[in-house]
Amino acid sequence: MSESSNRTHKPDLGQFSPVNVDWRTSSFSNGAGGMCVEAAAFDGGVVVRDSADPDGPVLAFSKAEWAAFVDGVENGELRF
């Protein structure tokens, strides 16, 4: 797989199990609960879940999508 297609590969959640990945809690978490997400590397991309609902839905992002999101956050583009 080329570097370009590797960056745009979205993780396949068909074989996904939340217990088999190393979840990282957002550094912006205040510990009060209800306002935190967790992210983990999986199948060449990134998966994200609500830490208050660890058995709930999981979102999957390619490396390129995740990088664009992080850049937007760091540059203040996502302030509402």
DSSP H or E run through 71: helix 63-74
pLDDT in tens, 20-68: 899 998 776 666 656 788 999 999 999 999 988 989 999 999 999 999 9
In a domain, 80, yes or no: no
The 3-state DSSP class for residue 33 equals coil
* Site of tokens 């390129």: 64
Q: Tell me which amino acid residue 7 is.
A: R
Domains contained in the chain, number: 1
User: How far apart are the C-alpha atoms of 22 and 68, rounded to whole Å?
Assistant: 22
- 49 Cβ contact list (under 8 Å, min separation 6): 18, 23, 37, 38, 56, 57, 58, 59
In a domain, 42, yes or no: yes
In a domain, 53, yes or no: yes
In a domain, 63, yes or no: yes
In which domain, by residue range, is 40 found? 3-74
Give 3's pLDDT tier (boundaries 50, 70, 90): low
Residue 68 has what DSSP assignment? H
